[in-house]
Amino acid sequence: MSSEIRLTPTSYIVLGLLEATEEATPYDLKQMVAVSLGNFWSLQHAQLYTEPERLAAAGYLEERREEGGRRRRHYSITAEGRAALRDWRGEPTAELTELRDLALLKIFFGADPKEMAEVQLPAHERQLATYEELRRDVGKALPEGPGITLEAGIASERIWVEFWSSLAG
């Protein structure tokens, strides 16, 4: 039985990752985010250390603590956590993409667009190449959700490459 807490996107990230892996430490969660959804969803890594404890106190996760050594906390998802995740996944959203782009922020406040493009263009070309390489190497082996988000990343990077190319002249 869970106590009533407000579940946030970070809550669902933790629940989703634990559903996929069965058990993980906060450090494991941080590593998983870095190589997967961290490419399209930013969050402070400290949240991955505090959120599991909060979810465990509310009954969405179970905690197992190592007896010796560093006494790491290992978390696993409960039936209640699975139900909350299932319900959340089942609710379509009309929220638009959040855009936090430091280069655009600098241009907004007067930075030279051409100068910014000279740095941004190769960065986005590298990211596009990384995503395309990932698709070549493991694309067909990815589950549907990660495969779709990889395709979204590729499409997005292609648009950024086109955008920064136009500013670079």
Q: 130-151, pLDDT tens digit by residue?
A: 999 999 999 788 899 999 999 9
Rounded mean pLDDT of the chain?
93
Q: What is the pTM of this model?
A: 0.83
Residue 3: which pLDDT band, with cuts at 50, 70 and 90?
low
d(CA 28, CA 48): 9
Q: Which two tokens stand for residue 135?
A: 């698709």
Q: Evaluate if residue 2 carries a pLDDT over 60.
A: no
Tell me, what amino acid is at 80? E
- pLDDT at residue 86 in the model: 98
State percent of the chain over pLDDT 70.
98
Higher pLDDT, 6 or 66: 6
